[in-house]
Every structure is written in structure tokens, then in C-alpha cells.
Structure 1
């Protein structure tokens, strides 16, 4: 399998990109990579070019550029070239830690959307304190607003992903809302609740609240992009703040506090490891014809490595092809019409 890599995307590129790619390459002998980036910057970082092809380009998309304009005007940008490689069949997937908006635009206009999916959704994997170790949530920012049918599509794709990649036999699908009662929420959420409740093949458990996300309220949490992005950032910020304050308290509590921290060191390490979302890989843009995966802009080489392994599993399992098969045999608009009639 071959992965096209935007070597220039992200805050710490190309160093951490190359390090993560080489670690994955050394571990997985079936992986090949095409790295797109400035050869003068990338080449000196490579320990070996085994199963790595470097395509030189000095053009890249900056985080503050308008995504669509950048994709259309910068034809030689590292991200654009990587997306073109996937479209042309030269690579099986694209990885980038660059601009989320630009990657979404490249996915839509170059890689292409699955027929039957209205809008792709951005889906990260997050740690869970429940019975299962992780959950997925979408959309977390690919779209500012959504329709109920799109949330239904997210539930279907999230369900297939949780089965295929996380290994959950019967994932619990929850709709993020401001209360657990079926009548809660605005018109969008009430309509989405009805659609999900009538969708065959998914284990819809109803509404879930943001307070229960990390506690294992659901294995797949479905939401509109605006709400999902706000909930994700609030959760990430709260987690970082708690861990920072814990460390600060121990270090500034004198001898007794430091001794106590020493005794609890193993337990604290377990908590930190549990909250380490990087080991689950990057955020997948679900709904595109090929795997398109986004790592956090501040990702380190370890996060890049885990994201590469995630991509390999997506390709191994043919997960995107299962999305294509599903939507090619299900007319979501017709099924929504039947639900409306009932």
C-alpha cells in the first residue's frame, strides 16, 4: 500500500512528519510513501529513502489562506500534489497535518465525494473512561451547519468505522444534544433523532450530553460541525488544564506533596496515557472516495506514526469501499421520505 504525504503541513513539519513516516516504514514492510515537499528541507532529514519517494515542491498552503482559493491557485502545493496522487491512483490515501479547511477542499474537489454522501464529516477518535477504550465523534468542524439527513449519514459511516477499525461488534450511536430526552433540542436535533431511531442496522441509543462524552456515553457520537468542534475543543482544553493543574499542585506542595506524587507516579502515568488521544491516530474525513486523514497541526512524530498505522488499517480493511457499497445500495433520500410519511 502507498500513502501520499504532505510533508510540509503542520507546525513542526517537515521534521516530525519524516520521523513518524520512517518509524512506520521501518515497522511495516508493506508500506510505501510518496513525500511531497521542499527537497532541501526534507532530504537531509531522511535516514533512508527505502520505500520513500520524494517529490520536490517549494509551494505549500499556509494555515491563514482561504482553503478553496489556495487549492485552486496553488497547483504545485504539497497538499494538492498529494491529493492528485490519490485521484490518479498513484497512492491509496493522503495524510496531512496542514490546514483542515484546505484538506477538506482538496478532498472534495480532487479526491471526490462518495455518491450518496451529502457532505464529508471530520471524525477524530477520542479516549473513553467507559467499558470501551475510545469513541469517535463526527462532525467536528468540516461543516458549520448540517441537515438531519447528513447526521444520519454520519451515524452510518461512524457505525461502520467503529466496527471495522475499533472492533466494536455493536457500536452504540448517540446524538449529541442538550438533554437525554427524545424531545430535547432544536428542530434539527428533533428531526435527526427521528431519522436515527428509524435507521436500520445501527444501535441508536438516543440523545447523549457532552458531560457524558468521556465517560463512555456512546461509541459513536453524532453532531453538527459547529457543535462538535466546540465540544471537542472544550473537552481537549479541560483535559489539558486538569493534567497541568495536577502537575503544578504536586510540584508546588513541598516535600510531602512531592513524596505523595512519587508514590502515585504509576497511577498518574496511567491517567496521562488514558487521555493521550494521539495514540488513536488522526481525524478521518469520512465520505470521500479514498482515505483522507488529518493530524493535529501541533502533532509530534509519535502522533504522525500512529496516524500512519491508522491509515494502513483503513486500507487493509477496505473501509472506504464499505462506505461506497452501503450508499450505492441505499437511497437515503427515499428512506427519509418513508420516515417522514410514518
Structure 2
């Protein structure tokens, strides 16, 4: 998209803290990231969420009617509510009025709306949600996919996930030679269920994928791998467990820091370190997951997202746009083996 300013459609009505936190995060992203934001939803509620310091006249609010509730079946709800905020946001990308969508609403509805309105990239059978997590090696995150889009997978789906993860790792995370691993119960090629065995062979035989072998659970955050592939059932459990561990670690850190005047002095000296620790461990700092494989940039954030998460979700969207992730996947995705 060259040097033009990125335009991000934000589902202002999606998530537990909508619209107030969504709007706050979006406005911060507009100011600090230099993007245009289109707030999609109920104009009255969005306007009421804008602080006095922000000018309503400079905001672009795109009206929508209702949202998809967490308990609703995605496909049926999307059809019953064609003007729901997630549908309208996806249509903005389809109509090229926006370059990306960010939503903290019903993740199943976001995925279904992306597929129905944007379609899949050539050569990709199923989209995957990629989540970027920190590792034991500073500045070397790992992308895990799929973390929830596909509960049941075929080997060729995992092969395509590996390819898309490789592209993302190269062009967004900056790994010139990313190392791809298949999540499994052992390092040996003979380990695992039928899906793992067949996928291992496909990855090993595909020259476009820099596959280095199986990755056990203890390897995921080791820094030895740049891309980890798995089905969405396992990946979603892994992601939520990792987030919980991060929250527990931060809580323990807060509880164990010394108290009193001496403790306050120590904490003040450690503030820069503590800030960096939080940035590496807090899932809010990572914004959410990129839905790879659909013909549009789509970031799916946590339902509990607050303003910092939305800000980082917009940052993720801009990075995907700036690094032309969709275009790079499209160029060679049709050559990925599918069988």
C-alpha cells in the first residue's frame, strides 16, 4: 500500500469492555501510530465513550446495528444480523475503505465473517490464528498457529499453517532463516498420532518450509523455534495456559517485591526492568492473533481486551500491512503442497 496511511476498521462494540475501552485504545493508536481508525458500531454509544479532549468531528464513525453475542452460533447470527458491527467492519475491508479489521468480539463470528466476506487466499484451505509469544531469548518471539480457528485439522492444513507462519516470521518478526517445528509429544519423527506422523512427512518433504523437526511442550518458549504449528484445539489450550502462567508470574513478582520505604526505593530503581518484564510476559502487550489465510488483514483480540490490548492489536495490523504479509503469502501459497 506504499506510503499511504493505514486505515483500520475497529469493531467498537465487540468484547466485554466495549465500547469504552475499545474506543480509548483506538484513539491512542490513532495518535501514537499514525493510523486512521474507523470506529464501527452504535454512534451514540461510541460518541459517549470519547473523552472531552478528543474531537468528535475528526473521528470517522461507521454506523452498525447490534453485535454478535458470545453465546450465539456464529454463522446463523451473522446471517440474522447483516448490519452487526463485525459484518460492517469486514465489508469496509472488502470495499477497500479500510486496510484491516480489529475485533475483540465473538472470535468465531469474526472468523466466519472474514471467510464469508473476504474469502481465502489462493492455495489456503483453512485460515489459522497466529499468536506471537515471548521466549527465553530476548527479542526472539515465536509465532504459534493455529491457536483456535480449526479444532480438527488435516495434515495439509498444518503444512499451510507452517508456510504462513514462515512468511510472518520472516517479514514481520525479522527472522531471515526461521526454524519451524511441529508440536508433538516427542522429538523423534516416529512419535505422535496419525495427524502428527503424516504432517511430519509433509513438512519434511516441502522445500519451501524450513522445518527442523518436532517440538515438545518444553520447547515452545525456548527460543529454539521461530514457528510452531499445531491444530487449533491444542493451540488454544497452549495459548491460554501460557497467558495464565504469565499472569501468575507477574502476580508472584508483585507479591514478593520488598515492602516499606526500603522496598519502595528498590522498586523505583527496578521500574525500567519491571516495565520490560511486563512487556515480555503480559498478553495484553501482544494485542491478539492475526487471522492468516483470509484475503484481508484481521486481528482477533481477547474478549476481555482493554485499551492497551486494542492499541497493540492496531499495531499488529499496521505491521502486517506495512510488511505486505497477505501479498507475500499469496505470491507462492498456490505452490504449497495440498494432499
Same fold (TM over 0.5): yes
237, 242, 246: which one pairs with 2:249? 242
Match of 2:329? 323
Q: Does 1:292 align with 2:298?
A: yes
Q: 1:3 to 1:41 in 2, by over 3 A?
A: same
How much has 1:194 moved relative to structure 2? 0.8
Q: 1:181 to 1:87 in 2, by over 3 A?
A: same
Give 1:137-176 correspondences, 5 Å limit.
137-176=144-183
Q: Report the RMSD for the aligned CA atoms in angstroms.
A: 2.2
- How far, CA to CA, are the matches of 1:84 and 1:173 in structure 2? 34
Q: Does 1:13 align with 2:18?
A: yes
- How far, CA to CA, are the matches of 1:200 and 1:112 in structure 2? 27
- Over residues 217-265 of structure 1, what are the superposed CA-to-partner deviations in whole Å (9 max), with x where a residue is unaligned? 31110001111111111222222223223333447xx769958974884
- How far, CA to CA, are the matches of 2:321 and 2:67 in structure 1? 26
Match of 1:36? 40
Match of 1:314? 320
Q: 1:216 to 1:312 in 2, by over 3 A?
A: same
- How far, CA to CA, are the matches of 1:97 and 1:153 in structure 2? 25
How much has 1:202 moved relative to structure 2? 2.5
Query: Which structure 1 segments of 5+ residues have no match?
Result: 337-342
Normalising by structure 2, what TM-score?
0.90
- Decide whether the 8 Å contact of 1:125 with 1:283 is kept in 2: yes
- Decide whether the 8 Å contact of 2:243 with 2:283 is kept in 1: no
- Over residues 118-150 of structure 1, what are the superposed CA-to-partner deviations in whole Å (9 max), with x where a residue is unaligned? 111111111111254311100011111101111
Query: Which structure 2 segments of 5+ residues have no match?
Result: 1-5
- How far, CA to CA, are the matches of 2:214 and 2:110 in structure 1? 31
- Over residues 156-198 of structure 1, what are the superposed CA-to-partner deviations in whole Å (9 max), with x where a residue is unaligned? 0000011111111111101111111111101110111111111
- Over residues 51-98 of structure 1, what are the superposed CA-to-partner deviations in whole Å (9 max), with x where a residue is unaligned? 631122341111111111111111110111111111222222111010
Q: Count residues in correspondence.
A: 330
- How far, CA to CA, are the matches of 2:180 and 2:328 in structure 1? 18
- How far, CA to CA, are the matches of 2:261 and 2:7 in structure 1? 54
SS in structure 2 at match of 1:166:
coil
Q: 1:305 to 1:255 in 2, by over 3 A?
A: closer
SS in structure 2 at match of 1:184:
coil
How much has 1:41 moved relative to structure 2? 1.0
Match of 1:231? 238
Bigger mean CA offset, 255-264 vs 126-135: 255-264
Match of 1:22? 27
Q: 1:51 to 1:284 in 2, by over 3 A?
A: farther
How much has 1:279 moved relative to structure 2? 2.9
- How far, CA to CA, are the matches of 2:265 and 2:111 in structure 1? 47
SS in structure 2 at match of 1:142:
coil
35, 38, 52: which one pairs with 2:59? 52
- How far, CA to CA, are the matches of 1:204 and 1:270 in structure 2? 31
- Decide whether the 8 Å contact of 1:33 with 1:51 is kept in 2: no
Normalising by structure 1, what TM-score?
0.90
297, 303, 310: which one pairs with 2:309? 303
- How far, CA to CA, are the matches of 1:23 and 1:288 in structure 2? 27
Match of 2:3? none
Bigger mean CA offset, 154-163 vs 9-18: 9-18
Q: 1:264 to 1:189 in 2, by over 3 A?
A: farther
- How far, CA to CA, are the matches of 1:44 and 1:139 in structure 2? 37
Q: 1:10 to 1:74 in 2, by over 3 A?
A: same
